[in-house]
Structure 1
Amino acid sequence: MTSRLFVAGVLVAAVIPAPVAAAAPAAAHQVTYTVTAQQPVSADIYYRDVDPPTWADYSHNPYQFSPKVTVDIGPQQPWVLTVQLADPDRWAMVSATRGRLPAEPGFRCELAVDGVVVATGEGPRGALCSLRHW
């Protein structure tokens, strides 16, 4: 009888799959955004500080995942923000602009991932830094 119970237990164990371990969440990367300008200016800066759950969620409302700040920047007054992103290749982004101005402030941005600068951008009236082509 004991051997029949043992065999039955082995058969049941072979039929019922073992629980699958949940995939470990992606390790977060430190993403640092830096924005400056050649001339002092009040800049509108959009940036990504969270990974959207899906592309569909992002597409439905990109501004939900792209906060905007208006800050004064200049040659000796950068705006710097460090965030944690699981997939910076897909989501890291910072842009700076300031509507119509009589002068060109000369924006410059820099995007670093885990301490390594991976993208830069510059322009007379705006700049975009991203690893992805939007």
Structure 2
Amino acid sequence: MTRRALASAVAAVTVLTPVSAPGSARADPPALRQVTYTVTTAHPVTADIYYREVAPPTWADYSHNPYLYSPKARVDLGPDTPWVLHVALADPDRWAMVSATSGRLPAEPHFRCELAVDGVVVATGEGPRGALCSVRHW
């Protein structure tokens, strides 16, 4: 191909190729969904609650260090003192999770958890010494 023919071909492709506005080629980030975690107990107890407030970049990142993405809160719970946390996640079906436990105690505090996405309860759990709420099966 001669230089003149090559230049003509490049010019034709340039004219036929649509030019997009800056930033329009990027996909919009997924919309954040409102997630509400609620944990209660039938009897007063100090509990350890693990929850997800930030989605890991990849599954590999999570599996290498799950506690980096699942902080722990140590809180006093009871029938009239629930623990409630609101977070925003792009993919709650994959990452929303709350888990609560009391450890070994002489009495069973009986835990109950609830996970709501955009105001709709999508998971509940309960147990004598702990509970897990998640859409995903871990």
The answer to whether the superposition gives a TM-score over 0.5 is yes
Q: 2:74 aligns with which of 70, 77, 92?
A: 70
What is the TM-score with the length of structure 2 in the denominator? 0.87
Q: Is there any run of 5+ residues in structure 1 with no aligned partner, and where?
A: none
Using the alignment, how far apart are the partners of 1:13 and 1:40 within structure 2?
73
Q: How many residues align?
A: 129
Distance 2:48 2:131 in 1: 11
C-alpha distance in 2, partners of 1:36/1:89? 22
Query: 1:11: Cα distance to partner?
Result: 3.3
**Of residues 45, 57, 61 in structure 2, which corresponds to 1:57?**
61
AA at the equivalent of 1:33: Y
- What residue number does 2:13 align with? 11
1:95 pairs with 2:95: no
Runs of 4+ with >6 A deviation: 5-8
Partner of 1:119: 123
- Uncovered stretches (5+) of structure 2, i.e. residues with no partner: 1-6
After TM superposition, the structure 1 stretch with the greater mean CA deviation from structure 2, 38-47 or 17-26, is 17-26
Q: Read off the aligned partner of 2:137 and give its amino acid letter.
A: H
- Indicate the residue corresponding to 1:36 in structure 2: 40
Aligned with 1:23 (options 23, 27, 46):
27
Shift of residue 98, structure 1, vs aligned partner = 1.1
Q: TM-score, normalised by structure 1?
A: 0.89
Is the alpha carbon distance of 1:7 and 1:65 closer, same or farther for their aligned partners in structure 2, counting shifts above 3 Å? closer
Q: Aligned Cα RMSD in Å?
A: 2.0
1:133 maps to what in 2? 137
Counterpart of 2:3 in structure 1 is none
Aligned-pair identity (%): 71
Structure 1 residues 111, 6: closer, same or farther in 2, change over 3 A?
Answer: same
| Amino acid in the other structure paired with 2:72 | K
